[in-house]
């Protein structure tokens, strides 16, 4: 039932714009003069803005094109907008950082843009092979980005670890897809669904589904498949770590929702149990490990494991509201996490020499604005009302309660109280300790602008979230039967 | 809307943010400007809150000055504000104490700008907590309040400030997140029953929950509020937070924040789950009595004045809880009044302790003695605050304590008798402390040259003493504003029938008897 090859350029316009921009950046890098290197980021942002403009035009124009493999719906539009926002913020944070490291090269920006292309394909895939290709496009870009500062050992270690474990998890995922295909003879989501409804789930199919889920859990760094995350986020350049921790997670969550809804919704009694277990493990392991971290990047890595756990509460709700809550949560999470990693990049300075929590002592006295931005991001991560983090958590937990997952929600809220401790520790360092040294932090205007956007976003989502909650709800037409 | 034709509660809640905005643009080195800006903001804020009292309509328990605007439409949450006869005084207490606290913070010299900003933010969240009639909005203010208080304790506190600040934050947060789950449950329960998504307090109250889940929800709420009160055995954060907090922080902590716990019981926990409340009332009465006696006994052995006052709070708040759970007009009125009184008297004591600490940088009782000789005005004010705290007739403390114990005696004589030990014990530890600090000869050399109160300090104390006498001598304006709301509370918990009984001639006679006694003291 593949139909004719209905080629329509329109849904692909954002992707095309991004790829053209990436290529232009590469060409400028090769043929342009060296002293224009700081302009790559801005060029990238222009491309991202143009792509965003085209994406917005697709909001009301759902379509299923390219032999029904490429779906454009509100979910894909909204998540694409989130990727573009993440990419723009990353591009703004990067120039100052890369300049310090002496690695301000065009290919960095091109790789970020290529990664976004992969992300868009992942969430727009109606066919699991297209999804897998998107995932690989993303992963290869991320492998290169993780090791971008190649003179640093930690960076190389991060890239290599990510390559091995990423390849490993991709293999598991692919194995799962193969098993599913062997049972259903198709990798179209809707055909898989039709098969499962008609024939019920055989043990083989459950195995395939479980392998796919494990692959997904690897990619969102949910426990017990999280072991790579602290090393990779800790070693990768801070802006890249921020990008990896947000963009990839948003995309895989969107894919999880799409897969669970469109392909295996009828098996929800099986996967809800799986999601609940992984959610609890992620929250508990992530939070308790984060309590003991001295390196702020590793702390944020463990915290991102815990956040994957919170978001999985929304998945476990298996409802339209739960899905919408996950999307909203991902947006909130991306903002605050990018902000935190952005500050880490600034405070880290050359060669990331200052990435321990103790290096933040007295930051508030010396750099009040930077410290305030960090504090806002951290309070948001801790889920204090008035910030995006609270609204995200609230919405996810509300969906959980509505779906009757009350014990899970109780575990989640208690975990968020534990989490407050390690976020507060950084706030305490910044505000309540005396500065040990002079902070010679050079502000790159682009990074400052990005932080401003993030802070405004955090408050907007935290205080007047109404319009975005409606958007995420209307974007999420899944789980409606 | 009512009142003066402008959204009064919004103005009162958010006016401090205007001050914050101005402070942001003041140079951080010009400390004088910063202090005055903050002080003027809080004075204007207090003046803005006064019309609430004068425009308040008597004889109704309905919420007044109500504002209701959609806030998050998808969730059915409204920006819904309103006050009744109980929150009216809590709001006034908040604006009043904040004003004095800023005045008492003149000696803060470190990061003045950030200090004042935190304080004004704190004021907004505190007023917001008391005015919110939408549970999501309430939770927003309730939890957001932690951040400025955390910073106030952690940045400007004493030597172990960081430990105290984090303990305060985590304790409160751990309690309140469970309350959040409970709120969400009520929200969906109402949706299932009534088909309407809303966080409106009145709507949610109208949908009772099944008896099987009610205890769970009840305890989730109760835990959040019991930690805040704090009731024994959840009190351990309090001595740390109080001792380490800067003076003004302690004043607000004792004066306002603890009241949020008792207020939470009164407004949410008990009315939402009347059956559970009645079912577990013995548990809470027991905890209240333990808090009363334990707090007093521990206060007795303290060698640090501030710690002593901190533990006395545990004891006094126990009386409030006893009054609330005894559930009759006198006891609840007394409990509510005691909330205000404790704010004033303990606030005053913390202010006084702060003043001597500024001079001597110690609060140990043994470092003092004979202070009355060198600082007579200070000693006088300390005397008044002490008497207010131990409930001497003629001062505010008496009315609240008396009413709540008399009321409790009607329904639970045993608990009331046990609770009455508080009056004896508090007299013992306060007066004993007073004797050791103020009487006898000046033994420590450093105390000989102590200066008496400055004009600023004198003004602070004068201001705080006025309402003590006012409530002590003429509590009628307060009680009559409170009464309809208190009756409404009792009827919410005990059902309409028993509330009617409270209003029967006999019931009325009893409260007027209390008023009679009070008026007699006035004549005496």
The 3 state secondary structure assigned to A385-421 is CCCHHHHHHHHHHHHHHHCCCHHHHHHHHHHHHHHHH
Q: Which of B173, B185, B193, B210 is the best mutation test for A, with the most CBs of A within 10 A? A: B173
Say what the pLDDT of residue A35 is. 66
pLDDT of B509 strictly over 50:
no
Tell me the range of A432-436, B118-122, B390-394 where mean pLDDT is highest. Answer: B118-122
pLDDT tens digits, residue range B421-450?
878 888 888 888 888 888 888 887 777 788
Say what the pLDDT of residue B1 is. 47
Q: Do B184 and A365 touch (CB under 8 A)?
A: no
Q: Do B180 and A394 touch (CB under 8 A)?
A: yes
Rounded distance between C-alpha atoms, residue A356 and residue A364, angstroms: 16
Rounded distance between C-alpha atoms, residue B241 and residue B521, angstroms: 37
Q: Which long-range contacts (CB under 8 A, 24 or more apart) does A215-218 make?
A: A215/A169, A215/A170, A215/A172, A215/A173, A215/A174, A215/A176, A216/A173, A216/A252, A216/A255, A216/A256, A216/A259, A217/A278, A218/A165, A218/A168, A218/A169, A218/A172, A218/A173
Strand B77-83 with B64-72, pairing: antiparallel
A interface with B, Cβ–Cβ below 8 Å: 364-365, 379, 384-386, 390, 394, 397-398, 401-402, 406, 409-410, 413-414, 416-417, 420-421, 424-425, 427-428, 431-432, 464-466, 469-470, 473
Mean pLDDT value of segment B461-488: 88
DSSP A245: I
Q: Do B74 and A470 touch (CB under 8 A)?
A: yes
Proportion of chain A above pLDDT 90, given as a percent: 52
Q: How confident is the model at residue B107 (pLDDT cuts 50, 70, 90)?
A: confident
User: Who among A385, A402, A432 is closest to B140 (CB)?
Assistant: A385
Q: Which runs of consecutive H residues, i.e. helices, occur in B195-280?
A: 201-205, 214-228, 237-244, 247-252, 258-264, 270-272, 274-279
The tokens for B486 are 């208190």
Shortest CA distance to A300 belongs to which of A367, A249, A252?
A249
Say what the pLDDT of residue A341 is. 93
pLDDT of A313 strictly over 90:
yes
The tokens for A212 are 């796919």
pLDDT of A216 strictly over 80:
yes
The structural domains of chain A, with segments of one domain joined by +, span: 10-475
pLDDT of A297 strictly over 70:
yes
DSSP B267: I
Q: Which of B14, B20, B74, B117 is the best mutation test for A, with the most CBs of A within 10 A? A: B74
Rounded distance between C-alpha atoms, residue B319 and residue A239, angstroms: 56
Say what the pLDDT of residue B524 is. 35
**What one-character-per-residue DSSP string does B492-521 give?**
HHH-HHHHHHHHSHHHHHHHHHHHHHHHHH
Q: Do A428 and B162 touch (CB under 8 A)?
A: yes
pLDDT of B523 strictly over 60:
no
Q: How confident is the model at residue B507 (pLDDT cuts 50, 70, 90)?
A: very low
Q: How confident is the model at residue B3 (pLDDT cuts 50, 70, 90)?
A: low
Strand A63-65 with B64-72, pairing: unpaired
Contact (CB, 8 A) for B153 and B244: yes
Say what the pLDDT of residue A123 is. 92
- Residue B184 Cα distances to A313, A352, A469, B178, B295, angstroms: 15, 43, 17, 10, 34
Residues in chain B: 524
Q: How many helices and strands (H and E) does chain A possess?
A: 20, 2
**CB within 8 Å of A311: residues ≥ 6 apart:** A220, A253, A326, A329, A330, A333, A396
The tokens for B182 are 């409970």
Q: Do B181 and A424 touch (CB under 8 A)?
A: no
Mean pLDDT value of segment A53-72: 84
Say what the pLDDT of residue A433 is. 82
The tokens for B68 are 């209701």
Say what the pLDDT of residue A479 is. 55
pLDDT of A36 strictly over 70:
no
Q: Which stretch of A28-42, A404-418, B185-199 has the lowest confidence by average pLDDT? A: A28-42
Strand B77-83 with A70-72, pairing: unpaired
Mean of pLDDT over chain B: 86
Instruction: Provide the shortest C-alpha distance from residue A346 to chain B (in Å).
Output: 23
Please tell me whether the peptide bond between B360 and the residue prior to it is cis, using omega within 30 degrees of 0.
no
| Matching residue, tokens 């039932």 | A1
- Residue A461 Cα distances to A192, A330, A337, B408, angstroms: 37, 12, 14, 47
Say what the pLDDT of residue B513 is. 44
pLDDT of A247 strictly over 50:
yes
Rounded distance between C-alpha atoms, residue A60 and residue B227, angstroms: 50
Q: What is the dihedral of CA A90, A96, A101, A103, to 10 degrees?
A: 70
pLDDT tens digits, residue range A119-171?
999 999 989 999 999 999 999 999 999 988 888 888 889 999 999 999 999 99
DSSP element (H, E) containing B70: strand B64-72
Residue A445, exposed/middle/buried by CB under 10 A (0-12, 13-18, 19+)? exposed
**CB within 8 Å of B15: residues ≥ 6 apart:** B41, B44, B45, B48
Tell me the range of A175-184, A263-272, A360-369 where mean pLDDT is highest. Answer: A175-184
pLDDT of A50 strictly over 90:
yes
Crossing angle of helices B496-503 and B505-523, rounded to 10°: 50
Q: How confident is the model at residue A326 (pLDDT cuts 50, 70, 90)?
A: very high
Q: How confident is the model at residue A86 (pLDDT cuts 50, 70, 90)?
A: very high
DSSP B56: P
Proportion of chain B above pLDDT 70, given as a percent: 94
DSSP element (H, E) containing B152: helix B146-156
For chain B positions 61-90, those within 8 Å of chain A (CB to CB) are: 70-75
Proportion of chain A above pLDDT 70, given as a percent: 96
pLDDT of A333 strictly over 90:
yes
**CB within 8 Å of A271: residues ≥ 6 apart:** A209, A213, A260, A264
DSSP A360: G
Q: Which of B145, B174, B181 is the best mutation test for A, with the most CBs of A within 10 A? A: B181
0.80 surpassed by pTM: yes
pLDDT tens digits, residue range B28-79?
888 888 899 999 999 999 999 999 898 888 888 888 888 888 888 888 889 9
Residues of A within 8 A of B141 (CB-CB) are 385
Contact (CB, 8 A) for A316 and A401: no
């Amino acid at each position: 039932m593949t139909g004719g090859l209905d080629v329509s350029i329109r849904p692909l316009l954002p992707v095309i714009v991004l790829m053209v921009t990436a290529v232009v950046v590469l060409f400028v890098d090769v043929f342009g003069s060296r002293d224009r290197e700081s302009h790559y980021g801005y060029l990238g942002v222009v491309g991202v803005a143009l792509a965003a403009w085209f994406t917005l035009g697709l909001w009301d124009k759902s379509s299923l094109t390219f032999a029904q493999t490429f779906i454009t719906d509100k979910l894909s539009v909204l998540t694409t907008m989130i990727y573009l926002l993440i990419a723009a913020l990353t591009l703004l944070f990067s120039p100052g950082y890369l300049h310090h490291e002496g690695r301000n090269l065009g290919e960095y920006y091109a790789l970020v843009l290529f990664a976004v292309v992969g992300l868009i394909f992942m969430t727009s895939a109606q066919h699991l092979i297209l999804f897998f290709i998107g995932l690989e496009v993303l992963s290869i870009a991320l492998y290169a980005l993780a090791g971008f500062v190649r003179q640093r050992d930690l960076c190389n270690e991060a890239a290599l670890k990510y390559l091995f474990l990423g390849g490993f998890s991709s293999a598991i995922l692919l194995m799962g897809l193969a098993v599913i295909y062997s049972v259903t003879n198709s990798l179209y989501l809707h055909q898989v669904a039709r098969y499962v409804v008609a024939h019920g789930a055989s043990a083989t199919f459950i195995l395939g589904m479980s392998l796919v889920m494990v692959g997904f859990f690897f990619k969102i760094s949910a426990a017990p498949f999280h072991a790579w995350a602290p090393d990779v986020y800790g070693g990768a350049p801070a802006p890249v770590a921020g990008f990896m921790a947000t963009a990839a997670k948003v995309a895989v969550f969107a894919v999880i929702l799409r897969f669970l809804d469109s392909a295996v919704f009828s098996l929800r009694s099986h996967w809800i149990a799986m999601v609940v277990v992984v959610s609890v493990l992620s929250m508990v392991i992530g939070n308790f490990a984060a309590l003991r971290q001295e390196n702020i990047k590793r702390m944020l890595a463990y915290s991102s494991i815990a956040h994957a756990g919170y978001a999985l509460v929304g998945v476990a709700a298996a409802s339209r509201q739960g899905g919408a809550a996950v999307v909203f949560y991902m947006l909130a999470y991306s903002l605050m996490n990018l902000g935190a990693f952005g500050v880490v990049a600034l405070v880290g300075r050359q060669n990331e020499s200052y990435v321990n929590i103790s290096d933040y002592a007295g930051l508030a006295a010396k750099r009040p604005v930077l410290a305030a931005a960090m504090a806002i991001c951290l309070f948001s991560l801790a889920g204090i009302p008035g910030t995006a983090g609270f609204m995200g958590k609230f919405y996810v937990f509300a969906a959980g309660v509505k779906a009757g997952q009350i014990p899970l929600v109780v575990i989640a809220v208690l975990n968020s109280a534990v989490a407050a401790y390690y976020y507060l520790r950084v706030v305490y360092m910044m505000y309540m300790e005396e500065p040990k040294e002079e902070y010679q932090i050079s502000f790159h205007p682009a990074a400052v602008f990005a932080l401003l956007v993030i802070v405004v976003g955090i408050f907007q989502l935290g205080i007047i979230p109404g319009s975005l909650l409606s958007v995420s709800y209307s974007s999420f037409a899944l789980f409606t039967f | 809307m009512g009142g003066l034709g402008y959204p009064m509660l919004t103005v009162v809640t958010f006016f401090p943010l205007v001050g914050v905005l101005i402070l942001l643009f003041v140079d951080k080195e010009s400390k004088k400007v910063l202090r005055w800006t903050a002080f003027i903001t809080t004075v204007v804020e207090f003046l803005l809150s006064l019309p609430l009292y004068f425009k308040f309509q008597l004889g109704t328990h309905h919420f007044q000055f109500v504002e209701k605007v959609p806030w998050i439409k998808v969730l059915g949450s409204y920006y819904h504000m309103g006050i009744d006869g109980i929150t009216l005084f809590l709001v006034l207490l908040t604006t009043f104490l904040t004003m004095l606290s800023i005045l008492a913070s003149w000696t803060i010299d470190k990061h003045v700008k950030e200090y004042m900003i935190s304080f004004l933010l704190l004021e907004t969240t505190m007023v917001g907590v008391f005015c919110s009639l939408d549970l999501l909005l309430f939770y927003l203010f309730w939890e957001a309040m932690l951040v400025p208080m955390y910073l106030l304790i952690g940045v400007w506190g004493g030597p172990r400030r960081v430990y105290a600040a984090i303990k305060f934050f985590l304790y409160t947060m751990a309690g309140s997140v469970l309350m959040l789950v409970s709120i969400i449950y009520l929200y969906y329960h109402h949706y299932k029953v009534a088909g309407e998504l809303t966080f409106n307090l009145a709507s949610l109250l109208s949908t009772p929950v099944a008896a099987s889940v009610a205890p769970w929800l009840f305890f989730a709420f109760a835990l959040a509020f019991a930690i805040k009160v704090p009731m024994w055995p959840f009190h351990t954060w309090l001595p740390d937070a109080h001792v380490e907090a800067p003076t003004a922080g302690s004043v607000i902590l004792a004066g306002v924040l603890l009241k949020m716990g008792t207020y939470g019981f009164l407004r949410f926990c008990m009315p939402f789950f009347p059956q559970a409340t009645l079912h577990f009332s013995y548990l809470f009465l027991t905890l209240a009595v333990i808090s009363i006696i334990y707090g007093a006994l521990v206060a007795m052995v303290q060698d640090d004045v501030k710690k002593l006052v901190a533990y006395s709070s545990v004891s006094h708040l126990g009386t409030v809880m006893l009054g609330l759970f005894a559930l009759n007009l006198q006891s609840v009125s007394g409990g509510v009044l005691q909330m205000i009184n404790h704010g004033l008297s303990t606030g005053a004591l913390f202010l006084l302790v702060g003043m001597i600490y500024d001079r001597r940088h110690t609060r140990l009782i043994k470092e003092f003695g004979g202070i009355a000789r060198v600082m007579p005005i200070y000693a006088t004010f300390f005397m008044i605050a002490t008497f207010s705290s131990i409930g001497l007739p003629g001062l505010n403390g008496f009315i609240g304590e008396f009413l709540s114990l008399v009321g409790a005696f009607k329904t639970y004589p045993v608990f009331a008798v046990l609770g009455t030990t508080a009056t004896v014990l508090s007299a013992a530890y306060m007066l004993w402390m007073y004797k050791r600090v103020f009487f006898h000869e000046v033994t420590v050399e450093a105390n000989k040259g102590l200066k008496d109160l400055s004009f600023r300090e004198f003004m602070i104390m004068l201001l705080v003493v006025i309402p003590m006498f006012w409530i002590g001598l003429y509590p009628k304006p307060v009680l009559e504003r409170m009464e309809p709301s208190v009756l409404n509370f009792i009827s919410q918990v005990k059902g309409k029938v028993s509330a009617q009984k409270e209003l029967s001639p006999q019931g009325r006679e009893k409260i007027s008897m209390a008023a009679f006694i009070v008026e007699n003291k006035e004549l005496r």
